[in-house]
């Protein structure tokens, strides 16, 4: 059955092929639909099979035309119109557009003129000097393609948040030390803390843009310079592209707002402004209520905001909206109604309930992990090594007698700690294909905490997957459903799940749904967290740490939960120890 990610990929391909054919407007509509399809918290294929076409067309950006194509793909595995576009342009679009400066339109031109369909053919044509013979291309373009081919071959997937954000932090730390820089911040999807990142976008406020650009491209971490100008530059650092834009200080706030929000958020905010006689863009907020032609220029009207980001929202009578919420999921209406969530923060997290030791596949002793929890300032900590079962890496799960032995070891280690830390002796049980967790009653009675997670049979159809997870949620022994879909970003999609249905069951049975903070997982993800919370489900933000340093993964989990509108009371590991103990028992 087609997954949401698979459906989204088809419409992204649609957009690229249409753009390559110089079709206007449609590519943008398809990309917008793809973004919302990918983030939809319910398996769309299941809705199609249930005859819920109306629900599909209620997805933002999905109307009759796109909705009918979704149904066609789910029912047949193909979309006739897409197959026709592929036949007209039989190219490896994904690979070719990874080359810097090569977009869908360029791919279309090179195919029509030189019949280039692959990276190898592109390289051969560039080396033979054939690309510069095509109208609109020159020797410089050809040389740029040659220089960027190797880099294009090394990438192919979006970078994990946990890999891209540390680089972004390094970029900001460097820029903050540049004298010409007044203010700097990341923008785009990385500031919204999306689980995967295309590139790192950085915004700087300065009166000396060229000095900033010179310092940026001269940074000793730069592997190669892609391009640079008076106010913009792009570099490669390892496999990541970093784009820098410099603006004057008085326009920094408006630029930061403009370049942070998703397209959907920005479009809706601009329409909200238009209804109030204002015009928003990267240069500021302008009162155009007395202007006959508001579209006559970017800076038409009286400028009423833009030096700070908060002023852009304040000009509309709205509170500042946290970047994680700027995905056009109702945040503007919530802001207008004074109903934005009081998002949880890293400081609200009082413990980690899903960690591993050398007893299964972790790297450290129980004692070392407990000491790391004390160093993190936690009030409580859960050791939850793997139980034996299908899908456990290397068959390193614990049998029932070993679990009982470890419970004693955990309690002994906790008793010798020189610090105030409540320690929960737990286990990460396996949810098998039928929803069973495979633990004996004596083991269940001995444990303080059971995290139950799917590790195998992750290609189940949505109906079976839902029944499996619901059975585990309803099991009174289970406290937390770990990484509910089992996905690994850039590797496997995991189970198709309806987060709202799981959330409703979790709320009824007092079972927490995990936001697994490992940057390869981030499971549940933002839209799924929001759907589960709307049904009243509790969540648990856990790191799944296999070594002390991985406790820092909590950063990614917190921001993922914030993308789901989570407040401190929503997460059981933001509760005080007494309340958490009552929940677990």
Q: What is the CATH number of the domain that holds 234?
A: 3.30.460.10
Q: List the Cα angle 202/203/207 in 5-degree steps.
A: 140
User: Is 368 contained in some domain?
Assistant: yes
- For the chain, what percent of residues have pLDDT higher than 70? 98
pLDDT over threshold 60, residue 518: yes
Kindly report, residue by residue over 86-119, the tens digit of the pLDDT: 999 999 988 898 887 788 999 999 999 999 999 9
Residues 449 and 529 in one domain: yes
Asked if 190 and 49 sit in the same domain, the reply is no
Based on the fold, state whether residues 144 and 171 are members of the same structural domain. Answer: no
Q: State yes or no: pLDDT of 41 exceeds 90.
A: no
User: Would you say residue 54 has pLDDT above 90?
Assistant: no
Is 43 a residue whose pLDDT tops 70?
yes
Q: In this predicted structure, what is the pLDDT of residue 141?
A: 87
- Cα dihedral 339, 532, 271, 314 sign: positive
Are 268 and 328 contacting, i.e. CB atoms less than 8 angstroms apart?
yes
pLDDT computed for residue 154 by the predictor: 62
Note whether residue 91 is domain-resident.
Answer: yes
CA distances (Å), origin 211, targets 246, 248, 280: 10, 13, 29
Report the C-alpha gap between 9 and 18 in whole angstroms: 14
Read off φ and ψ for residue 302, nearest 5 degrees: -85, 125
Of 110, 129, 154, which marks where a domain is finished? 154
What pTM did the predictor assign? 0.81
Nearest to 450 by CA among 420, 475, 421, 469: 475
CATH code where residue 495 lies: 3.20.20.140
Whether pLDDT at 156 is above 60: no
Same domain? 113 vs 217: no
- pLDDT digits over 451-487, tens only? 999 999 998 999 999 999 999 999 999 999 999 999 9
- Whole-number mean pLDDT of the chain? 92
Mean pLDDT across the stretch 248-274? 96
Give the least confident one: 56-65, 248-257, 334-343, 447-456: 56-65
Residue 341 counted as domain residue: no
CATH of the domain at 123: 1.10.150.110
Higher pLDDT, 389 or 424: 424
- Cβ atoms of 67 and 57 within 8 Å: the answer is yes
In this structure, the answer to whether residues 136 and 169 fall within a common structural domain is: no
Domain check: are 326 and 400 in the same one? no
Running DSSP on this structure, what letter comes out for residue 569?
G
Helix boundaries (H) for 181-238: 188-191, 209-217
Domain-terminating residue out of 191, 218, 247: 247
Q: What are the CA-CA distances from residue 175 to residues 184, 190, 245, 274 (Å)?
A: 7, 17, 12, 36
- Do residues 372 and 322 both lie within one domain? no
Does position 44 have pLDDT exceeding 90, yes or no? no
Whether residues 119 and 203 fall in one domain: no
Q: Are residues 240 and 285 in the same domain?
A: no
Here the CATH number for the domain that contains residue 265 is 3.30.210.10
User: How far is residue 85's CA from residue 80's CA, in Å, rounded to a whole number?
Assistant: 9
Total number of domains in the chain: 4
Token couple for 402: 């070993």
Residues 210 and 185 in one domain: yes
Last residue of a domain, one of 247, 271, 291: 247
Q: What is the pLDDT of residue 1?
A: 61
Spell out the long-range contacts of 299-306 with Cβ–Cβ below 8 A and sequence spacing 24 or more.
Answer: 304/278, 305/253, 305/254, 306/250, 306/251, 306/253, 306/254
**pLDDT(211) > 90:** yes
pLDDT in tens, 520-547: 999 999 999 999 999 999 999 999 999 9
* Residues 63 and 193 occupy one common structural domain: no
How sure is the predictor about 394, in pLDDT bands with cuts at 50, 70 and 90? low
The pLDDT of residue 383: 98
List the domain range (segments joined by +) for residue 449: 346-584
**450, 429 Cβ separation under 8 angstroms:** yes
Residues 264 and 380 in one domain: no
Average pLDDT over residues 18-34: 86
pLDDT, tens only, 548-579: 999 999 999 999 999 999 999 999 999 999 99
């Amino acid at each position: 059955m087609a997954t949401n990610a698979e459906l989204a990929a088809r419409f992204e391909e649609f957009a690229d092929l249409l753009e390559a054919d110089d079709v206007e407007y449609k590519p943008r509509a398809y990309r917008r639909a793809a973004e919302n399809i990918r983030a939809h918290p319910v398996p769309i294929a299941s809705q199609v099979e249930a005859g819920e076409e109306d629900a599909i067309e209620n997805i933002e950006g999905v109307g009759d035309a796109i909705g009918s194509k979704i149904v066609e793909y789910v029912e047949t595995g193909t979309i006739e119109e897409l197959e026709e576009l592929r036949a007209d342009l039989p190219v490896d679009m994904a690979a070719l557009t990874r080359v810097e400066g090569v977009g869908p339109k360029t791919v279309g031109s090179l195919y029509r003129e030189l019949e280039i369909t692959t990276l190898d053919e592109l390289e051969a044509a560039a080396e033979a000097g054939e690309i510069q013979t095509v109208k609109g291309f020159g020797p410089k373009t050809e040389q740029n393609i040659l220089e960027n081919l190797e880099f294009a071959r090394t990438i192919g997937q979006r970078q994990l948040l946990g890999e891209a954000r540390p680089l972004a932090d390094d970029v900001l730390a460097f820029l903050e030390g540049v004298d010409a820089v007044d203010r700097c911040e990341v923008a785009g999807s990385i500031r919204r803390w999306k689980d995967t990142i295309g590139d790192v976008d950085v915004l700087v406020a300065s009166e000396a843009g060229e000095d900033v650009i010179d310092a940026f491209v001269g940074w000793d971490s730069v592997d190669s310079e892609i391009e640079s100008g008076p106010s913009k530059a792009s570099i490669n650092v390892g496999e990541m592209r970093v784009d820098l834009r410099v603006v004057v200080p008085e326009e920094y706030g408006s630029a930061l707002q403009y370049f942070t929000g998703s397209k959907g958020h920005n479009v809706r905010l601009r329409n909200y402004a238009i209804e109030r006689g204002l015009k928003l863009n990267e240069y500021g907020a302008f009162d155009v209520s007395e202007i006959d032609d508001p579209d006559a220029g970017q800076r038409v009207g009286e400028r009423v905001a833009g030096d700070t980001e908060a002023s852009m929202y304040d000009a509309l009578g709205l509170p500042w909206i946290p970047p994680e919420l700027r995905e056009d999921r109702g945040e503007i209406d919530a802001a207008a109604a004074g109903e934005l969530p009081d998002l949880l923060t890293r400081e609200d997290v009082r413990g980690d309930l899903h960690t591993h030791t050398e007893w299964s596949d972790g790297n450290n002793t129980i004692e070392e992990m407990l000491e790391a929890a004390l160093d993190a300032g936690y009030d409580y900590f859960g050791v939850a090594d793997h139980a034996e079962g299908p899908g456990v890496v290397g068959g390193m799960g614990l049998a029932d007698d070993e679990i009982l032995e470890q419970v004693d070891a955990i309690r002994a280690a906790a008793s010798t700690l020189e610090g105030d830390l409540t320690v929960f002796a737990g286990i990460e049980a396996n949810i098998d294909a039928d929803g069973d967790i495979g633990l004996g009653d004596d083991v269940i009675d001995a444990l303080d905490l059971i995290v139950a997670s799917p590790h195998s049979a992750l290609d189940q159809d949505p109906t079976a997957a839902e029944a499996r997870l619901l059975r585990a949620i309803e099991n009174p022994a289970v406290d937390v459903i770990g990484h509910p879909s089992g996905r690994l970003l850039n590797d496997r999609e995991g189970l198709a799940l309806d987060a709202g249905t799981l959330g409703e069951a979790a709320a009824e049975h007092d079972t927490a749904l995990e936001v697994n903070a490992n940057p390869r997982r981030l499971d549940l993800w933002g839209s799924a967290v929001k759907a589960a919370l709307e049904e009243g489900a509790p969540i648990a933000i856990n790191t799944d740490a296999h070594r002390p340093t991985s406790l820092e993964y909590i950063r990614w989990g917190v921001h993922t939960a914030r993308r789901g509108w989570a407040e401190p009371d929503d997460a059981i590991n933001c509760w005080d120890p007494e309340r958490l103990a009552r929940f677990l028992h």
